[in-house]
Structures are given as C-alpha cells and as structure tokens.
C-alpha cells in the first residue's frame, strides 16, 4: 500500500460563517456542502474542511496552503478587489531550468497563511 493523493485537509476556524464567505466568495472556491460548523470546499479535487466554532485559533507557524493558479498577477488583483490583503505581492521566488516560480502570500480571517503560486513557462 502506498500513499499518493491527498483527499482532504482541515483548518480550524473561529467562525464557520466568516470562513465560508472568505473561502467561497473572496477566494471563489466551489462549496461542496455545509454540515453545522463544518464547511467543505473543492480545491481541484482535494477537499478543504473548515471546522468552525473554535474559541481560539493558533495559526500554525511554518504551515502554508498554496493554490496553483495561471496568471498570478491577475488573480491577485481580483482577490485584492474582493478585500484580500496581501502580505507579499506576487513575486519571483526562483528561476528553475524550465520555469520561473512565482508566489504571493496572504492570510485568512483567522491568520492562516495562504499563497498563490504559478509556474511560469
């Protein structure tokens, strides 16, 4: 038996309603369903579970969720128009032999670090 594909990842959030708005409306992730304080979104075939109702969130240090995108600058501008504040605008991270790696970083309402990433050819 070997592990290969991530099926779901979970994030604790203080407010399921606020997280549902941010991930669904601001980020535009397709919502799968909601059950009480659990909200599920599709991230390109991997399920994101937001577990609401937590009194306090200690956003993990060294933990970041990276969303692959095409045209990172345009996606960042669209998110900024929806009120998403970037800590670091999209910028070149590294020049690889066959592409450039670009990233831009922002946080959700509970302080979880998120990023956009594009492998520019």
The DSSP letter of residue 110 is: T
pLDDT given for residue 1 in this prediction: 65
- Give the alpha-carbon dihedral of 12, 57, 84, 118, to 10 degrees: -60
Residue given tokens 């979104």 in the structure block: 41
Q: Could you tell me the pTM of the whole model? A: 0.86
Residue 49 contacts residue 39 (beta carbons within 8 Å): yes
Give the pLDDT band (50/70/90) at residue 5: confident
The CATH T-level fold of domain 1-57 is 2,3-Dihydroxybiphenyl 1,2-Dioxygenase; domain 1 (3.10.180)
Residue 80 contacts residue 89 (beta carbons within 8 Å): no
- How many Å separate Cα 78 from the centre of its chain? 14
CATH 3.30.720.110 fits 59-121, yes or no: yes
Give yes or no for residue 95 having a pLDDT over 70. Answer: yes
Residue 23 contacts residue 41 (beta carbons within 8 Å): yes
* pLDDT digits 0-9 by tens, 37-57: 999 999 999 999 999 988 888
* pLDDT digits 0-9 by tens, 101-119: 999 999 999 999 999 999 9
């Amino acid at each position: 038996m070997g592990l290969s594909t991530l099926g779901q990842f979970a994030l604790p959030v203080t407010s399921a309603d606020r997280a549902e708005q941010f991930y669904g409306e601001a980020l535009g992730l397709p919502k799968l369903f909601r059950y009480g304080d659990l909200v599920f979104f599709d991230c390109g075939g991997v399920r994101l579970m937001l577990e609401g109702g937590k009194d306090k969130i200690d956003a993990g240090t060294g933990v970041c969720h990276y969303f692959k995108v095409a045209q990172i600058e345009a996606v960042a501008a669209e998110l900024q128009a929806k009120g998403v504040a970037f800590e670091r605008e999209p910028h070149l991270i590294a020049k690889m032999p066959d592409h450039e790696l670009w990233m831009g970083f922002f946080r959700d309402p509970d302080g979880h670090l998120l990023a956009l990433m594009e492998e520019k050819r």
